[in-house]
Structure 1
Amino acid sequence: MESIDNPYTPNAGASPEVLVGRQDQTSAFDTLLRRLSRGRSEQSMIVTGLRGVGKTVLLNEFVDIASRANWEIVEFEANKHDDRHFRQTMFSQLKAALLRLSPRDRWSDRGRRAAEVLSAFAVSVDRQGTWSMSWDIPPAEGYADHGDLGMDLTDVLVAIGEAAREQERGLVLLIDEVQFLRASQLEALIQAIHKTVQRKLPVTFVGAGLPQIAELAGDAKSYAERLFTFPRIDSLDGDEARQALTEPALAEGAVFDDDAVDLAIEITKGYPYFIQELGYQVWTVATAHRIHREDVVSAREAYDVKLDSSFFRVRLDRATPLQTAYMRAMAELGPEAQKASEVARLMGRDSTQIGPTRAELIEMGLLYTPEHGYAAFTVPDFDTFMLRAVPVLDVPPLRPRRLRTTE
């Protein structure tokens, strides 16, 4: 069939033609905005899940919902930058949001005050010698100038929230890859949103991240579990997976045979990204608008190669030899979460020797800890890829310890 008509979108964060299985989350987000607009409180959310289940796609859907509700949107992907860079990012984004909420020549007293508080927030960055602000509004005194990220961000979001409420609008911060925020940054966001909730302001923070983010948020602020819900999204169930595969094709006049759908769902296990990739490859080999089981079989090799060379390989390429060996040992033990002591045993090490490597892989977002003492891959089917990509478990030798000498 024609490539230009291919309805599948196997790209990072690309919205599929049909979004299925996420009605609970989109309804909850819509309810959140509606309640905040009426001055009522509602738990916000941080969506969690493995790679490829559609967290970024869901955030994009939230953008559309917020836009239709006439809310102002700040969206960005978290990274591991220091607090100064995070402060700079927040200033730049919030400055633009404030100007969209109310152009400077139409500022009320609350609008101008929000700008002055934002200027104070920026000045504290400039004093560290890392960034010169380009904002000709004099800074407020006694607001957002404490030198504490949490207190400063709280002042800013409260001030902008008051300006937004005056405009009968709201502000939503949509942040992807939340697990890459530093503890101080996540704590600051939670602290600031807590205060806007207490003030009944139309401001909220909604995030998406890997499964460990619920624990990280709880560690940052004990009241996070009351401020947020942490819905986990996973693979699609049978009917939803079938719908995600067949409806895009149907919109282009193509129909899957039932046994072709059954095989596709068996291969992809219902993971949304995998469905998009397999659907894309099937479309390239099918010759008519009736897609048969044989077409899925023919597309399987290209599907596997594409996943191995992109979705999986880019993650393995970031690993050191010892990190690779750790993941290979996990894969040999099976697809389930693996106990740290068992992985160490298979590698011929003890847990204390291999513990730092495990921690590094968690920090990199390649592993997460579903329960104490265990680790699992953040990428579906990564265990089977590791067995293909690294046929033999090869553990690098221990580096000899340097002996201290005294003179």
Structure 2
Amino acid sequence: MGDPFKTPNPGGALPRAASPFRPGPGKVPPAFGSRTSPLRTAKDIVDRLAVPSDPVAMPLLRGVRGVGKTALMAYTRHHATATGTVALHIEADASDTDLTATCRSLLRDAAPLTSAVGDLRRRLSSISITRGELAFHPAESDRGDITLEALLYDLVLLAEHRGVGLLLTVDEVHEAEELLLRPLMRAVHRHAQDARPLGVMFSGLPGAARTLLEEGQTYAERIATYDLGMLDRGGVTAALDEPFEEHAGVRVGGDVIDHVLDDTGGYPYFVQLWGEALWTILPERRDVRLADVVRAQVLVDERRDGFFTSRWQRFPRGRARELARTLADLGSPARMATIADRLGHADQRPLSDARATLLAAGHLYAPERGRVAFTVPGFDRWLAEHHDV
């Protein structure tokens, strides 16, 4: 259950004061736990693009907030860049209906491709290069998907000319769904036919790309889907024990692991909170014992309560909060019909706007038709217990 990117650290342990744990949105943790399959796929992409050789499968990382999707993509970009591959990143946005903002974001990251272009300039249809600066020229068509395909074609041509691979990571893909995914997959399909060096990774909430995958189109079949759930005991052990052993030369006791697993349910973000808390209360170099849990629990509870409070403050007032509190009382996930009935509505229509708002904000997701759930595990229990917030 190792990380294929990792090699022994010749520099030895870090200073004891430097915590290796990274609790925070999108921050790369010191160990990903039981994420071996997506890490292997990411390593394969990096290795192939470093040559560069043929394009590779497109992994789609799906899961609720805080399970490590964004961090795993950032980790992959870091290793890709270290091999000479040019890494591009975009965050899907449903409001970017013509994909102009998406194209401009790609262009900013593509700056390393501008040198030594030579005669290739004449083959570029959507961009120009003057004094080492890229300029974007949208296609005459008003269709954003055509413009995006043209831009990707030019960027891959530039990468091929430079003899480097091109890695594109796309976060929050559920935001744009077909608007963004269709042109991206068409572009990947085209470059795969021409054996050009393009790798793409997607990530999003659990329902991301479900429609496209169910349609079974030829280019959609190349998506390798990884549903990132909670860490099992082995994953929690790796996420906690490996950093302590690597950076401090101490081990985490099995009974500590059991407590953390029970307290967090294996939710990776909270596991990182535990790692940081245990590191903070253990200044001396010795193994982490069950007796240390009591002091660390205070720090974890404080951080977790602050996290949930901050999240609740971002929920719109009115029906959106009524929907959320009812979902919390019922237990997440729950059927929208049940929520509507509990709130005294004959059908779901009075809640449709509130549901859409919470889905768009990433507070809820739809695990299946007619049901909703919070995107952060444990939020339902916290909200049900805090009627005063």
Q: TM-score, normalised by structure 1?
A: 0.80
Match of 1:189 in 2: 184
Question: 2:31 pairs with 3, 15, 18, which one?
Answer: 18
Match of 2:357 in 1: 360
Task: Provide the C-alpha distance between the structure 2 equivalents of 1:29 and 1:239, rounded to a whole number of angstroms.
Answer: 21
Structure 2 spans left out of the alignment, 5+ residues: 1-14
Matched, 1:258 2:251: no
Q: Which amino acid aligns with 2:225?
A: F
1:291 is paired with a residue whose SS is coil
Question: 1:243 pairs with 238, 241, 259, which one?
Answer: 238
**CA gap 1:118/1:301 in 2 versus in 1, 3 angstroms:** same
1:175 is paired with a residue whose SS is strand
Matched, 1:155 2:150: yes
Match of 2:9 in 1: none
Question: 1:60 pairs with 74, 78, 85, which one?
Answer: 74
Question: 1:294 pairs with 266, 291, 294, which one?
Answer: 291
Shift of 1:29: 2.5
Question: 2:264 pairs with 250, 261, 268, which one?
Answer: 268
Task: Provide the C-alpha distance between the structure 2 equivalents of 1:111 and 1:170, rounded to a whole number of angstroms.
Answer: 19
Task: Provide the C-alpha distance between the structure 2 equivalents of 1:96 and 1:145, rounded to a whole number of angstroms.
Answer: 24
2:227 is paired with a residue whose SS is coil
Match of 2:8 in 1: none
Shift of 1:293: 1.6
Shift of 1:210: 0.9
Q: Which amino acid aligns with 2:80?
A: A
Match of 2:113 in 1: 101
> CA deviation digits over 1:109-161, x for unaligned, max 9?
224533x52249xxxxxxxxxxxxx968796xxx8332221112212222222
Matched, 1:174 2:163: no
**CA gap 1:219/1:144 in 2 versus in 1, 3 angstroms:** farther
Shift of 1:324: 1.5
Q: Percent identity?
A: 27
CA contact (8 A) 1:3 1:284 kept: no
Deviates more, 1:293-302 or 1:338-347: 293-302
Matched, 1:47 2:47: no
**CA gap 1:241/1:101 in 2 versus in 1, 3 angstroms:** same
State the number of aligned residues: 368
**CA gap 1:138/1:247 in 2 versus in 1, 3 angstroms:** closer
Task: Provide the C-alpha distance between the structure 2 equivalents of 1:138 and 1:384, rounded to a whole number of angstroms.
Answer: 49
**CA gap 1:63/1:138 in 2 versus in 1, 3 angstroms:** closer
2:309 is paired with a residue whose SS is helix
Structure 1 spans left out of the alignment, 5+ residues: 121-133, 393-407
**CA gap 1:386/1:220 in 2 versus in 1, 3 angstroms:** farther
**CA gap 1:112/1:272 in 2 versus in 1, 3 angstroms:** farther
Q: Which amino acid aligns with 1:369?
A: A
CA contact (8 A) 2:52 2:165 kept: no
Task: Provide the C-alpha distance between the structure 1 equivalents of 2:80 and 2:220, rounded to a whole number of angstroms.
Answer: 24
CA contact (8 A) 2:33 2:237 kept: no
> CA deviation digits over 1:332-367, x for unaligned, max 9?
1124x2111111112222322223322221122111
Match of 2:314 in 1: 318
Measured on the aligned residues, the alpha-carbon RMSD in Å equals: 3.0
Structure with the higher helix share, 1 or 2:
1
Task: Provide the C-alpha distance between the structure 1 equivalents of 2:279 and 2:368, rounded to a whole number of angstroms.
Answer: 41
Q: TM-score, normalised by structure 2?
A: 0.84
Match of 1:110 in 2: 120
